[in-house]
Amino acid sequence: MLSTAITLLGETGAEGFTMRRLAARLGINPMTLYHHFGDRAQLIAAMADRIHAGVAPPAAGSPLERAEGLLRRYHATILRHPALTLLVLTSPGLFPAQARRITDSLTGLLIAAGLAPQRAGLWLDILVDFTHGAALATAMAAQSGAPEDAGAGRYDQAIAALMASLRAEIG
């Protein structure tokens, strides 16, 4: 059921993804969905949790290397599901559990790397907001039929620049 929803969302894009269309694809009554997921926002959160579930920092490396690796993996994952990312980022108040786990994990790694908790919070926002902004730009470009390359390489260079600043701050 969740996998069908994720597949359909990939086909239709964020715009075309509706409860009624998903029900039709599943061959069930639209209202049955409400019995399983509560409402549309909770369905989106459940899809996001499924997609984010495997994202974890690399096992080896310094805290900063693991933080960077986690961020890159998170970015690669949401780039693979641009329409879902669009829905998650623009659903008011929606913070799916797995996304929270990822940002909590990132905060922990930044603190372990030697940042004061307050600075870790600032850097978390910088890194995550940029990652979301880049993913959003790629998602919108893809939705209007642009070539889908470019995005990933630019993200790599940008993250490298940001991590250099971070390293400089830690000293």
Q: Which residues bind DNA (CB under 7 A)?
A: 17-21, 28-32, 34-36, 39-41
CA–CA dist 45, 61 (Å, integer) = 31
Among the listed residues 129, 148, 167, 170, the single contact to a copy of itself using CB under 8 A: 129
CA–CA dist 34, 156 (Å, integer) = 40
Helix 63-79 and helix 40-52, axial crossing angle in degrees, nearest 10: 130
Number of residues this chain uses to bind a copy of itself (CB under 8 A): 31
- H runs (alpha helix) in the chain: 2-16, 19-26, 30-37, 40-52, 63-79, 82-90, 97-112, 117-143, 151-170
- Cα distances from 86 to residues 13, 58, 138, in angstroms, run 9, 26, 10
Work out whether 140 is an interface residue with a copy of itself (CB under 8 A): yes
Among the listed residues 54, 117, 144, 171, the single contact to a copy of itself using CB under 8 A: 144
| Residue 125 interacting entry, from DNA, a copy of itself, none, C-beta within 5 to 8 Å by type | a copy of itself
Q: Taking the mean position of all CA atoms in its chain, how far away is CA 23? A: 25
Lay out the site mask for a copy of itself across 94-123 (x = CB under 8 A, - = otherwise). Answer: ----------------------------x-
Among the listed residues 40, 72, 101, 132, the single contact to a copy of itself using CB under 8 A: 132
Of 28 and 41, the one with the shorter C-beta distance to a copy of itself is: 41
Of 60 and 149, the one with the shorter C-beta distance to a copy of itself is: 149
Subset of residues 31 to 70 that bind a copy of itself, contact rule: CB under 8 A = none
Note whether 123 and 170 are within 8 A (CB): no
**Closest Cα to residue 3, out of 20, 26, 21, 24?**
26
Of 21 and 132, the one with the shorter C-beta distance to DNA is: 21
Note whether 14 and 83 are within 8 A (CB): yes
Q: List residues near a copy of itself by CB under 8 A.
A: 13-15, 86, 89-90, 92-93, 122, 125-126, 128-134, 136-137, 140, 143-144, 154, 157-158, 161-162, 164-165, 169
